[in-house]
Structure 1
Amino acid sequence: MTTPRAAAIYARISSDPGATHAGVERQLTDCRKKAEALGWGIGGEYVDNDLSAYSGKHRPEYARMMTDLADGLLDAVVVYNLDRLTRRPSELETFHDAIQAAGVAHVQFVTGEANMLTDDGLLQTRILGAFAAKESANISRRVRRKVEEVAAQGRPHGGARPFGYEDDKIGIRETEAGVYRQLVARFLAGESTRSLANWLNDQGIPTVTGKTWTTTTIKGMLINPRYVGLRAHRGTVVGRAVWEPLITDEDHRRILAKFAAKKTSGRRVPQRYLLSGMLRCGKCGNTLFSSARTERGKTTRRYVCSSGPDHGGCGKLTIAAAPVEDLIANFVLYRLDTPELADTLAGRSSADARTQELTTALDADTQQLEDLALAYANRDISMREWMTAKKPITQRLEATQRQLAAVTRTSALTGIVGDGAELRRTWDTLNLGRQNAIVAALVDRLTIGPGQPGARAVDPHRISVQWRH
């Protein structure tokens, strides 16, 4: 057989938390010495650092090496040990078939002399591969058991530090904790995750990895049980954590309820109209829909009663959006200064009691769903029994979440009741989500009556307001 002129050197290590590359560098050094001792030329070096060969995850450099072998750019392979090449028997067979198809006649390991290109050598390599896979499975089981133990004790584990906490994932970083509490307050007051992400990015507040904020990041952080002092493992809360919470259990429940309500509503696009979903047609009672009309290059925002199978309205009523929004905003700002509203909201203890009652019901139904799933997993009940029992519980959960969202709606009014004058000065600086939340907290329904043909201005008498409080 001819001496290889372009051998591939492959190095890999499963874990390199500090990204030092020290482990793979040692492998490369020993592989180079092996190739030199054999008199082989080196065609390329391929390194997968901090990547497992047992998990089945994509290894980009391994894939590149296999492509170069198939293309005839390499004629041999040098690896420190078999378990650096692979820890999965199925992948070993794939590697063997690939090098045979490529006509590669030389594979060398720095440790061990098994020649996988002979029948006896391949058998020995397969046995070594099976032992490597078994050892990886043992390591994985021990690591998994350790992680479960850490979770049960409420201690943190691995990964980047959470926003609001120090590097030990236990101590609170007050500057970030304050920002997180602001996020929670603003979200409960009606702001969208998109608005909150824009706010953080505009303020120049980075994520813990130094990246910009996205709506996905904001949502993930808001619903994360860690911030209420709970330890989760594989998506399930396993108990109280050793670190201090940043928010209360009640706020956490209200956050989850708001996201559940958003999911139920089906809204997926940014809100562009202040009164979306609040207006009713005075002729047929149907909800008015937002609709823009463009004529001669000018676009007018409108609310319309739409007919047809998807809307079901009479199609006979339209009102310009801008003037009606201005009128309702003025109504709301005036209402905020009335003593009657302050007196009504002063009796909020009953709302707090109702919140606690709904939260308790939510916990009970959630636990029942988990018990039901466990019964099915243990084969105590059939799939049909599980589905039959699950439906009424899920319906109760959805109804409770809607009620909880409605009861806690007045969070949007915190700190602004009795201060309408100040809010009037800053109203235009608020984003649309915040304005909508304030209006929705006070207004239950707005009915728009028919207008006069040819009228150029909106008649306030067309608008009937039904207040929540």
Structure 2
Amino acid sequence: MPRLYGFDDASRRRLRDDEVDATRQMVSRALSGQSNQDVAVWANGEGYRGTLGGEWKDASVGRLFRNPAIAGLRYDDDGELVDAGHPGAITREEFEALLAREQARRTKDAEPAYDYLLTGGGSTCGICNHDLGGARTNVGTPGYRCRPKDKKGIGGCGEVRIDAELLEDYVGEYVAAELLKPRIRSQIVKAQDAVRKKADSLKREIKDLEERQAELGRLYGNREISSEALVAGEREIAANLKDIRPRLRYAEQMVNFSLGHAKDLVKWWNTAPTASKRAITLLLLEKIEVFAASARGVRTVEPGRVVLHWRKLSDTSGG
């Protein structure tokens, strides 16, 4: 079985460093409105090739984008997306946006996919601290929402909603202003060095957990532990991996981010791929808290509604 682009092996236990960033950039370009053919032309122009050395085509880009494994997911027997137990190059939200984009391509009247900047832990509910997720309003406008608890008790308070463009423009203005400060670039480089060390530490943690997972299987195969012990051990390891892998993914995004020599930061922010904007946002901001508006229908960021917690770049290694 050939390996999937972005992974080191067919078992998909390890991401391939020289293909992960390419995958993320391809996805960002697709979600920003480029066609699969445009993405393929860009990838080939940058020198990227498929796992067998061939050039990218519209069809091969489409196959990659439809494979849930690139987000660390798989389809269960009911056709639902679930954690596949291996790392992913992109987030679940990005993959779901790719699916929505694919559906929009098939249905001309369908709403185009929206490339959310602050999902996947990028913004949190100021009331219950639950991560905000992307959710369209009844009229189809993209927004962020604290999803209420479902029947299994998973979710937040459901009290906070905000227009996506409103929140992202607000955050973008402050991030661009921060980047204009003297010496910020040198601080970013130092912070990225710290994040790189953190990413290496997370990789070691993942490797250790995977080795423990394999050891559990060996012990069970030799009948040295019971099936109950095996299930309990694997459940604990899976929970730890589920927590660590997104942290590693975001750390890698921060490490791979490059501002380059942009002279017009506002123009750069407005045209940069979402992955790049997300990386610099995560690098500069420790947390973005969003609170409920004073009344239903408020279309402004009222004082205190969005609270930006700036990261001390010298302390990034602990993030």
Q: TM-score scaled by structure 2?
A: 0.58
Residues in 1 aligned to 2:191 and 2:291: alpha-carbon distance in whole angstroms:
34
CA contact (8 A) 2:134 2:142 kept: yes
**Which residue of structure 2 lines up, in the alignment, with residue 443 of structure 1?**
285
CA contact (8 A) 2:28 2:274 kept: no
Query: Which of 280, 285, 310 lines up with 1:467 in the alignment?
Result: 310
| 1:200 maps onto 2:28 in alignment | no
Deviations 1:173-208 (A, max 9, x none): xxxxxxx98753344679559659835334484863
Residues in 2 aligned to 1:390 and 1:283: alpha-carbon distance in whole angstroms:
33
2:286 alignment partner, SS class: strand
Residues in 2 aligned to 1:430 and 1:216: alpha-carbon distance in whole angstroms:
25
CA contact (8 A) 1:281 1:305 kept: yes
**What one-letter code is carried by the residue in structure 2 that aligns with 1:335?**
E
CA contact (8 A) 2:198 2:251 kept: yes
**Which residue of structure 2 lines up, in the alignment, with residue 386 of structure 1?**
230
Deviations 1:124-150 (A, max 9, x none): xxxxxxxxxxxxxxxxxxxxxxxxxxx
CA contact (8 A) 2:130 2:146 kept: yes
Query: Which of 50, 56, 61 lines up with 1:214 in the alignment?
Result: 61
1:466 alignment partner, SS class: strand
1:274 alignment partner, SS class: coil
CA contact (8 A) 2:285 2:310 kept: yes
**Which residue of structure 2 lines up, in the alignment, with residue 319 of structure 1?**
162
Query: Which of 268, 275, 295 lines up with 1:426 in the alignment?
Result: 268
Deviations 1:362-384 (A, max 9, x none): 22332232233234345554434
| 1:268 maps onto 2:112 in alignment | no
Distance 1:280 1:190, change over 3 A: farther
1:452 is displaced (CA, Å) by 5.4
Residues in 1 aligned to 2:228 and 2:126: alpha-carbon distance in whole angstroms:
47
Distance 1:302 1:337, change over 3 A: same
CA contact (8 A) 2:289 2:307 kept: yes
**What one-letter code is carried by the residue in structure 2 that aligns with 1:184?**
V
2:96 alignment partner, SS class: coil
**Unpaired runs of 5+ in structure 2?**
6-15, 71-85, 99-112, 314-319
- 1:204-283 correspondence runs (5 A): 205=44, 208=54, 211=57, 212-214=59-61, 216-217=63-64, 257-259=87-89, 262=91, 268-270=96-98, 272=114, 273-276=116-119, 277-282=121-126
CA contact (8 A) 1:200 1:213 kept: no
Residues in 1 aligned to 2:175 and 2:185: alpha-carbon distance in whole angstroms:
11
**Which residue of structure 1 lines up, in the alignment, with residue 200 of structure 2?**
356
Distance 1:356 1:343, change over 3 A: same
Count how many residue pairs are aligned between Structure 1 and Structure 2: 254
Distance 1:281 1:463, change over 3 A: same
**Which residue of structure 2 lines up, in the alignment, with residue 410 of structure 1?**
254
Pick the structure with greater CA Rg: 1
2:162 alignment partner, SS class: strand
Residues in 2 aligned to 1:385 and 1:188: alpha-carbon distance in whole angstroms:
38
Residues in 1 aligned to 2:235 and 2:201: alpha-carbon distance in whole angstroms:
22
Query: Which of 185, 188, 191 lines up with 2:21 in the alignment?
Result: 185
CA contact (8 A) 2:123 2:132 kept: yes
Residues in 1 aligned to 2:241 and 2:149: alpha-carbon distance in whole angstroms:
33
**Which residue of structure 1 lines up, in the alignment, with residue 218 of structure 2?**
374
Residues in 2 aligned to 1:335 and 1:386: alpha-carbon distance in whole angstroms:
50
Deviations 1:5-54 (A, max 9, x none): xxxxxxxxxxxxxxxxxxxxxxxxxxxxxxxxxxxxxxxxxxxxxxxxxx
Deviations 1:404-441 (A, max 9, x none): 3344341253344xx56444223333344443344334
**What one-letter code is carried by the residue in structure 2 that aligns with 1:447?**
E
1:336 is displaced (CA, Å) by 2.4
**What one-letter code is carried by the residue in structure 2 that aligns with 1:360?**
R
CA contact (8 A) 1:279 1:287 kept: yes
CA contact (8 A) 1:279 1:447 kept: yes
CA contact (8 A) 1:354 1:407 kept: yes
Residues in 2 aligned to 1:188 and 1:204: alpha-carbon distance in whole angstroms:
11
Distance 1:336 1:420, change over 3 A: farther
Distance 1:397 1:421, change over 3 A: same
Residues in 2 aligned to 1:407 and 1:203: alpha-carbon distance in whole angstroms:
25
**What one-letter code is carried by the residue in structure 2 that aligns with 1:363?**
K
- 1:335-346 correspondence runs (5 A): 335-338=178-181, 339-340=183-184, 342-343=186-187, 345-346=189-190
1:257 is displaced (CA, Å) by 4.2
**Which residue of structure 2 lines up, in the alignment, with residue 334 of structure 1?**
177
**Unpaired runs of 5+ in structure 1?**
1-158, 164-179, 224-255
1:322 alignment partner, SS class: helix
Residues in 2 aligned to 1:189 and 1:464: alpha-carbon distance in whole angstroms:
29
1:465 is displaced (CA, Å) by 0.5
**What one-letter code is carried by the residue in structure 2 that aligns with 1:213?**
S
Further displaced range: 459-468 or 330-339: 459-468
Q: TM-score scaled by structure 1?
A: 0.42
1:319 alignment partner, SS class: strand
The CA RMSD measured in Å over matched residues stands at 4.6
1:330 is displaced (CA, Å) by 1.6
